[in-house]
């Protein structure tokens, strides 16, 4: 099958083409091409994503991103139309103005070309992004392989979500933990803004924290809190951490701030990752799972991955640990095409008849 993926839930406009099949209990997955157009420069002056600006940029960029994805594989729209089997579009969760642009674009295509259209949950896309190989590489994964992976605990950490999900088997999810306020990525972004660093905050904080580790400054003055670290649940809260950083930072004069910037970046990264790691491993142990799966933009954080690996070793937990390649950790349409394909396979002939443009709707608050 050839699947066209479309993703516009936040500030990345992305289109992907995936070739996938399922035969003799084996999935064959081959990413053909994908383009991600990031709006970072547009939103950077505001320190976060401005929903109406994001929607306007999606509308402006979709046509170009679509052509750049498709034409290297199919020389004309006619040949794409002939070969295309399924369109998969992110229908939520996300920013509603952004979602509507992608969903309406996909509806127009599905209507004009009479193709099945499947609305994908963005979070499910993140949970399966670890399966994707690099462009033009084909991987095989059997049902037996999936059985070795599940049950699993999934941690989805991005600018908009911080979720712990118990995945009993492929397609069966239970949210066991959520953030009560800000998402982990949002804490990186807002923390960076307080410290005068660039947007998106995650990479900026990580780079600044790296300087602290190298210099090992002796000005280690104030620890930041680790919110909800010891609570007997899997929920998170990051807004208090952001406020603690703000108050600590406001007390300092200009000269001291300059000296302590790497320390505060380091401390913020440590505080966020300490809580994520502890809750995730606790969930893995309580639910007696076989694997840990990470997804979402914050997975790009090397310290987070290192700490999980370190704690798995220290706590002698023999779990499979999966996370996506960098290009599939932030928002991308390839993971949407993959989740669309997996859902298509699961659907009954009756359900397939309903995969029409009239039946797909954006839902900003969709949960998994
Ligand atoms: O999944 P994503 O691309 O978009 C949504 O939020 O939907 O994630 C973006 C988030 C931003 O908050 C960004 O600061 C964070 O991922 N991020 C990182 C790193 N790279 C991106 N956070 C920590 N460390 C990183 N290296």
Q: Output the residue whose Cα is nearest ligand 1's atom 8.
A: 297
- Measure 313 CA to ligand 1 centroid, in angstroms: 26
Q: Name the residue with tokens 């936040």.
A: 10
Each residue's pLDDT tens digit, 184-242: 999 999 999 999 999 999 999 999 999 987 766 666 678 999 999 999 999 999 999 99
DSSP, collapsed to helix, strand or coil, labels residue 270 as: helix
* Strand bridging mode 86-92 / 2-7: parallel
**333, 15 Cβ separation under 8 angstroms:** yes
The helix/strand/coil state of 232 is: coil
- The 3-class secondary structure across 117-142, one letter per residue, is EEEEEHHHHHHHHHHCCCCCCCEEEE
pLDDT at 47: 77
- C-alpha 86 – ligand 1 centre gap (Å): 29
CA of 186 to the centre of ligand 1 (A): 8
Residues linked to residue 178 through DSSP beta bridges, in sequence order: 163
CA 351 – ligand 1 centroid, Å: 35
* Atom number, ligand 1, closest to the C-alpha of residue 9: 7
Q: Which residues line ligand 1 (CB under 6 A)?
A: 10, 158-160, 185, 188-189, 200-203, 206, 296-298, 300-301, 330-331
pLDDT computed for residue 228 by the predictor = 96
Segment 317-351, tens digit of pLDDT: 999 999 999 999 999 999 999 999 999 999 999 99
Could you give the CA distance from residue 108 to residue 18 in angstroms, rounded to a whole number? Answer: 20
Q: What is the pTM of this model?
A: 0.95
């Amino acid at each position: 099958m050839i699947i066209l993926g479309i993703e516009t839930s936040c500030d990345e406009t992305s289109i992907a083409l995936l070739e996938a099949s399922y035969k003799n209990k084996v999935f064959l997955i081959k990413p053909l091409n994908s383009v991600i157009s990031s709006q970072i420069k547009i939103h950077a002056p505001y320190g976060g994503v401005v929903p109406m600006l994001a929607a306007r940029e999606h509308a402006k960029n979709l046509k170009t991103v679509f052509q750049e994805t498709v034409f290297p594989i199919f020389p004309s729209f006619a040949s794409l139309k002939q070969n295309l089997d399924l369109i998969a579009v992110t229908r939520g969760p996300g920013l509603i103005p952004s979602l509507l642009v992608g969903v309406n674009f996909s509806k127009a295509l599905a209507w004009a070309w009479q193709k099945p259209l499947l609305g994908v949950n963005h979070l499910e896309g993140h949970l399966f992004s670890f399966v994707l190989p690099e462009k033009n590489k084909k991987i095989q994964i059997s049902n037996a392989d999936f059985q070795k992976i599940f049950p699993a605990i999934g941690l989805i950490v991005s600018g908009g979500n911080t979720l712990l999900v118990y995945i009993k088997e492929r397609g069966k999810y239970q949210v066991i933990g959520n953030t009560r306020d800000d998402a982990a990525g949002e804490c990186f972004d807002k923390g960076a803004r307080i410290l005068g660093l660039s947007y998106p905050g995650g990479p900026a904080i990580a780079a600044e924290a790296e300087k602290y580790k190298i210099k090992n400054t002796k000005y280690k003055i104030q620890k930041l809190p680790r919110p909800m670290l010891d609570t007997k649940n899997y929920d998170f809260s990051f807004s208090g951490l952001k406020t603690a950083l703000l108050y600590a930072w406001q007390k300092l004069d200009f000269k001291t701030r300059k000296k302590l910037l790497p320390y505060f970046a380091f401390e913020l990264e440590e505080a966020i990752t300490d809580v994520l790691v502890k809750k995730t491993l606790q969930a893995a142990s309580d639910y007696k799972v076989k694997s840990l799966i990470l997804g979402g933009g914050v997975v790009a954080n090397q310290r987070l991955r290192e700490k999980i690996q370190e704690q798995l070793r220290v706590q002698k937990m023999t779990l499979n640990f999966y996370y996506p390649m960098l290009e599939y950790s932030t928002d991308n349409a390839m993971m949407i095409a993959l989740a669309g394909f997996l859902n298509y396979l699961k659907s009954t002939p009756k359900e397939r008849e309903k995969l029409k443009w009239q039946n797909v709707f954006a839902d900003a608050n969709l949960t998994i």
